[in-house]
Structure 1
């Protein structure tokens, strides 16, 4: 285990929310400036509705006050990132809204988002709890991966996978809580808490009860699946739309998810994306079979092997993008990761797991 990663920058952040943000912004100034520019360009290019930066922000600006009401410390951290990086706050807020913007009104952009999450309650031989996923997005995001090691003024220390300028996309904390997420596309989107804010609220929990409250509290800006676990082997799978949620518990030792709703009660709220649903269904079939057939042999090594699966290549668990997608914008696995909750350690690749080695980073 190491405090560093050979390919992904690890940021050491501590203090009040504004200090966390300013440290993040200062350490990643050039990457944040470049990322915010490239991402905005992509968002405007891919939008099915004509938009400029001004009209996009006018549409999205009401989300700021809503998130300040529910998570003022996290919006303060975003403002700190903006100051530290010398980037307008509006662009930092848009960076932190990437998944939510897709849900809100630019629906066809969702073809580019697909992740596969999984968790094992008890690893054979060690009794450790494992929570992980592949993180699949357009390849333009690849250049901006970061790991955040956060020591807030209040609450548990956190180790987060994220992107330059983004407050969090998944991770674990010193209380033994771990989180993986999947993008889900729903119709009841609107004003609500951002994905990135929910991630941080989960990992601010000192126990499972505190952690699982964050995803289920409406309203949310968009849909997602939150796979939450603790180091005692308890796992909770939470599917959300903007206003509804459904909880599922593993029937055996493992559970997994892709990018379509499984709960019958939420199906009428799902927005099915024609170019994305096939990949999600195929990845779920491969995932479900692997978890079932591997059974009591599901350990860290076997989960890392799962992240290299090429069933339905190139739209597979280890995603490589389609030839029909433009170069630079192909949806591919940016990182594969497994959180070992009992060790407070993140095992993660930079890029596809079939081409890159895992490295361990500890809290």
Structure 2
């Protein structure tokens, strides 16, 4: 089947959170919003109950991935994953952890097999999954694990926050701040830059992306007066990336690289740790930034917010970020197809 005619795979997320609410509301307003077709991997009974609670008129239909796009105009296509217990909005239940994880696993399986165009994941509560024995720091690491099982070798995921005003990726992610200097290595920065440059070209259509690299310390170390990592760890990585033909530059002081004029000089930025990247990303695009996982053999996006249990079942949550995640996933899939076609025509 033509990849452009396939639906996106949308996971359930935590059923006690806002993921199902947003998916249902988006489908009801699909024509106005112009969202691409998606297949919801979730419990149909939970979706029906939530739609009733929210006063939404959503027709549901169990569907294969291949038929989901055709069904989307008249009904929300669903691949069933049964919950162990009834989902109560705002009250997460560890009993449903297995179904939450299975929804993610199926989404990866379908997308890897090219039965869906790309994977979009709804928010999960990691603490709920940890209680069930989930052994990964978060979504990103679990997706990389599943992808590595299929690929047969380890993969390095890179978390990119993509918004209307900024694309930025941290080198280190879900670790305590006091562990960052030990975890930060020249090779990790090089790998992040290499993956970013490759995927910006193949999935965003930026053939020669400009990549700004932040320092770790205030003022990028100020020539060693405020720390040695910038010169000893980060600068050699930038030099190697340049040797590889990647237009990377820095290290730049993180406090001056995110204002409007500075952002005009690069297409994406690399930061050294989680908050250094996510604070500017969420400040500049809190409602419409998208979490994109680079470095995987499939496209994955996610809304840049959590489960928001306190808003679940109340029609109060904003759908902007999930809408953006769906649209960006489809756009990246289209770009990848166009580049692949162009390469084939050139004999690449």
TM-score > 0.5, shorter chain as reference:
no
> More strand by proportion, 1 or 2?
1
Larger RCO, structure (CA 8 Å, separation 6 or more): 2
Larger Rg: 2
1 or 2, which has the higher helix percentage? 2
Give TM-score, length-normalised by structure 1.
Answer: 0.31
